[in-house]
């Protein structure tokens, strides 16, 4: 139950942020990867396990 409440609070916060977001607030994924030093090859070689 507590997890559901926390998730709801996060959803409300995300919705507020998206309402106030402007186009210039976003950057392309390629630029973010470059700034973080992540290559497409590394990304493709990474296994992700979602629960």
Q: What pTM value is reported for the model?
A: 0.51
Distance CA 35, CA 29 (A): 10
What total of structural domains would you count in the chain? Answer: 1
51 belongs to a structural domain: no
- Radius of gyration (Cα) for the chain, nearest Å? 16
8 belongs to a structural domain: yes
* Half-sphere exposure for 29 (CA within 13 Å, toward CB): 3
Range of the domain at 32: 2-45
Positive or negative: CA dihedral 28, 17, 36, 7: negative
In tens digits, what is the pLDDT along the chain, a chain of 51 residues? 899 999 999 999 999 999 999 999 899 999 999 999 999 999 899 998 888
């Amino acid at each position: 139950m507590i997890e559901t409440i926390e998730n709801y609070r996060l959803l409300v916060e995300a919705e507020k942020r998206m309402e106030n977001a402007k186009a210039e607030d976003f950057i392309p994924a390629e630029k973010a990867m470059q700034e973080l030093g992540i290559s497409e090859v590394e990304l493709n070689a990474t296994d992700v396990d979602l629960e």
